Structure formats: structure tokens, C-alpha cells
């Protein structure tokens, strides 16, 4: 249920006219039949800084930083965490490390390296983490060190105006991180001692927290990917994305 709400917030309304992929992107298309992996890694990495500026007519938001107004990130019986005015820094420095096209246009898997990502904004938390009660609201930042992110979108083909387009049938995000560092300001109505202890506790237990909450968060992020992927590919036919 919280996923749907998240997506509603992210919906970007654009009154679409026929939109074209910019020529500098078309020029970097790769052929699935000819050394696709190396071509895509080279050309994809060339293009990330451009894409990071955003392609609003193709529903690709700006990524330097990516800004999200609101996310109901955790909504379980024991813990509620809402984030607002979010900024995600470091996406523009992601590096494509690997790519795999599934057979028969069945999807695409990427492996991305994000060395240095920071998420900041305002938080509102209430409930329990592991064994400890937690409560507060204020500014926060979370630092994600040396991440490897592997998103997969599975797809089918859809025909539009005589041209073939990708359409997603599912999405998934695998990831691993070397370390997460939390900094939540103003916990417990600004009680500094309790706040410092809680931040220390979170940082000492980052891997347990990642295990508990990571999969749910990965699902939200993955649903966002899928949404952006569909908005993009519904405009752009496969012939503009891949060479024969």
C-alpha cells in the first residue's frame, strides 16, 4: 500500500507530444549482436552525466541530485518512517559495470557501482528499531559507502504505431553495501544524549538494519525504476535504443 502512495507522489505529468531521443543518445546505440556488453558499458558511462541533468520530455528526472517530495519509507506495525524533501546525491557518479540483455527482449539487468551516495532531507520516525524505542523528526543524512546496485527489469514487447516498444512485467533490485552511516538530528525532542546514543546504536547495527529493512526499501526503489523505465520506453521505440 505504501508503494502505491509513493508512486502517486512521483507521477510526473507531461502533456506528451511525439518526443524524440536526442541525437547524441541515438549515436551511442549498441547492437545486441555485436559485442553489446562492452559497447553498452563504454557508451552508457559516457552518457550518464548527460542523463543526470534530466530529460524531462522523456520523463527522466534530474539525478544530480534526485529530489523526491515525500516517501513513506517504512510502514510496519512496529515502525513508521516518513521522509520528505529528499535529495539523493551521487547518482550522477554511478558507473555501469555490467549489463545483460535477457533473451527475446525479455528484460535487462545492470550492475552499477555507486561509491559515494548520500541521502538527505527531513525525517519523521516513530516506533522501535530492533529492541529500542525511537521517536523524532528533523534533518537527517544517510551515507551509503561503496554500493553495488543490480537492478533488473523484465519486459515484454508492445506494439505502438507500428513500432516495437519495451513494456515492463516486473522489476527487482539487488544491492550490497560496504557501510551505512546514519545521522538523525533532533531525535527525542532534541535530547542530545539520547540522540547521540541512538545514532551510535544505528551505526553499530547498520548491517542488521539493512537486512531487516533493506528488502522493503529495495522494492520501493525498484518500483520507481520500473515506473521511469515504462514512461521512457512507452515514448521511445526499441529501434531508437538498440542497433540491429
Ligand X SMILES: *[C@@H]1O[C@H](CO)[C@@H](O)[C@H](O)[C@H]1NC(C)=O
Binding residues for ligand X (CB under 6 A): 72, 80, 82, 89-90, 109, 116, 118, 124, 126, 150, 152, 174
Q: Indicate if the alpha-carbon torsion angle 184, 188, 189, 190 is positive or negative.
A: negative
Q: With respect to ligand X, which residue has the nearer C-beta, 35 or 126?
A: 126
Q: With respect to ligand X, which residue has the nearer C-beta, 57 or 183?
A: 183
CB of 226 to ligand X, least distance (A): 14
Q: Angle 121-57-223 (CA atoms, 0-180°, nearest 5)?
A: 50
> How many Å apart are CA 117 and CA 84, to the nearest integer?
18
CB of 22 to ligand X, least distance (A): 27
CB of 154 to ligand X, least distance (A): 10
Q: With respect to ligand X, which residue has the nearer C-beta, 71 or 236?
A: 71
Under 8 Å CB-to-CB from 220, ≥6 apart: which residues? 2, 3, 6, 71, 73
Alpha-carbon Rg of the chain, whole angstroms? 20
Q: Which segments within 130-243 are labelled E, that is strand?
A: 132-160, 163-176, 179-184
Q: Residue 75: what are its φ and ψ, rounded to 5°?
A: -145, 80
Q: With respect to ligand X, which residue has the nearer C-beta, 72 or 233?
A: 72
Q: With respect to ligand X, which residue has the nearer C-beta, 45 or 239?
A: 45
Q: With respect to ligand X, which residue has the nearer C-beta, 90 or 147?
A: 90
> How many Å apart are CA 46 and CA 95, to the nearest integer?
10
Answer whether 180's CB lies under 8 Å from 206's CB.
yes
CB of 109 to ligand X, least distance (A): 5
CB of 195 to ligand X, least distance (A): 17
Among the listed residues 185, 60, 62, the one whose alpha carbon sits nearest the alpha carbon of residue 122: 185
Q: With respect to ligand X, which residue has the nearer C-beta, 50 or 118?
A: 118
Under 8 Å CB-to-CB from 8, ≥6 apart: which residues? none
CB of 131 to ligand X, least distance (A): 19
Amino acid at each position: 500500500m505504501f508503494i502505491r502512495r509513493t508512486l502517486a507522489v512521483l507521477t510526473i505529468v507531461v502533456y506528451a507530444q511525439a518526443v524524440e531521443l536526442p541525437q547524441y543518445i541515438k549515436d551511442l546505440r549498441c547492437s545486441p549482436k555485436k559485442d553489446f556488453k562492452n559497447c553498452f558499458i563504454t557508451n552508457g558511462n559516457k552518457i550518464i552525466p548527460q542523463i543526470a541533468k534530466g530529460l524531462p520530455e522523456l520523463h527522466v528526472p534530474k539525478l544530480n541530485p534526485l529530489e523526491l517530495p515525500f516517501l513513506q519509507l517504512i510502514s510496519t506495525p512496529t515502525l513508521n518512517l516518513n521522509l520528505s524533501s529528499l535529495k539523493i546525491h551521487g547518482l550522477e557518479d554511478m558507473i555501469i559495470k555490467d549489463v545483460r540483455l535477457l533473451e527475446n527482449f525479455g528484460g535487462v539487468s545492470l550492475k552499477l557501482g555507486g561509491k559515494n551516495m548520500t541521502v538527505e532531507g527531513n525525517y519523521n520516525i516513530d516506533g522501535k528499531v530492533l529492541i529500542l524505542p525511537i521517536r523524532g523528526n528533523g534533518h537527517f543524512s544517510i551515507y551509503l559507502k561503496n554500493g553495488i546496485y543490480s537492478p533488473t527489469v523484465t519486459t515484454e514487447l508492445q506494439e505502438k504505431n507500428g513500432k516495437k516498444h519495451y513494456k515492463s512485467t516486473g522489476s527487482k533490485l539487488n544491492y550490497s553495501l560496504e557501510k551505512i552511516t546514519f545521522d538523525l538530528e533532533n531525535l527525542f525532542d532534541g535530547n542530545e544524549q539520547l540522540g547521540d546514543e541512538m545514532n551510535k546504536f544505528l551505526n553499530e547495527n547498520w548491517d542488521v538494519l539493512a537486512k531487516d529493512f533493506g528488502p522493503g526499501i529495495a522494492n520501493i526503489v525498484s518500483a520507481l525504476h520500473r515506473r521511469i523505465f515504462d514512461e521512457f520506453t512507452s515514448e521511445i521505440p526499441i529501434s531508437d535504443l538498440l542497433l540491429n
